[in-house]
Amino acid sequence: MRRHLLVLGFLVTGCVAATAHEVHHSIEATTAVALRLSYADGKPFAFEAFEAYADGKEIPAQVGRTDDQGRAVFVPGAVKHWRVKAFSADGHGIDLRFEVPAAAVSQSAPAGASGDGPNRASLLLFGLSLLLSGFGLYQLRLRKKP
């Protein structure tokens, strides 16, 4: 009889230990926010750390790494205002506050439009135009006439 109780005890203990290593999952379709980050030269801010904070919270709602295309993805739920901090080991990063767009509003940009801001060539052209206009102003107004 003792032997049977001992075997039964081992079986129960084994079953409990086996269920302790289980991982359950569920798959649900939901609306997520995908924030695409890139360096100034257009390369994706890939595999870098990010933290997503709900409005007014000190503890991040999600932490993770951007994917190979520089996207930080999280599910905002009912919270509309978010803060995302993304940073790399070499000091690059961003601290962005934004409002989640309404799901019904289309966020697609017109053909040829980019939300990444001005590119390097347009910034270079703007800088050169500032230098040339400053030199021209100097030549016209400030130079001593003989």
User: Once rounded to an integer, what is the mean pLDDT over residues 37-64?
Assistant: 94
Domain that holds residue 41: 30-105+119-127
Provide the β-strand partners of residue 52. Answer: 62, 84
The CATH number assigned to the domain holding 93 equals: 2.60.40.10
- Tell me what pLDDT residue 28 has: 85
Check residues 22 and 25 and name the one with the higher pLDDT.
Answer: 25
pLDDT bracket for residue 139 (50, 70, 90): confident
Tell me, yes or no, whether 1 lies in a domain. Answer: no
Exposed / middle / buried, residue 37 (Cβ in 10 Å: 0-12, 13-18, 19+): buried
β-strand 62-65 against 71-74: which pairing, if any? Answer: unpaired
Q: Is residue 112 part of a domain?
A: no
In a domain, 44, yes or no: yes
Query: What region does 95 belong to: left with phi over 0, alpha with psi -120 to 50, or beta?
Result: beta
**Is residue 48 assigned to a domain?**
yes
Q: Say if 82 falls within a structural domain.
A: yes
> In angstroms, what CA-CA distances link 33 with 29, 66, 84, 98?
13, 13, 11, 11
In the structure, what pLDDT confidence band is assigned to residue 18 with cuts at 50, 70 and 90? low
Residue with the larger pLDDT of the pair 109 and 57: 57
User: What totals of helices (H) and strands (E) does the chain contain, helices first?
Assistant: 2, 6
Mean pLDDT is lowest, of 9-13, 88-92, 128-132, for 9-13
Structurally, how many domains does the chain consist of? 1
Q: What is d(CA 15, CA 9) in angstroms, rounded to the nearest whole number?
A: 10
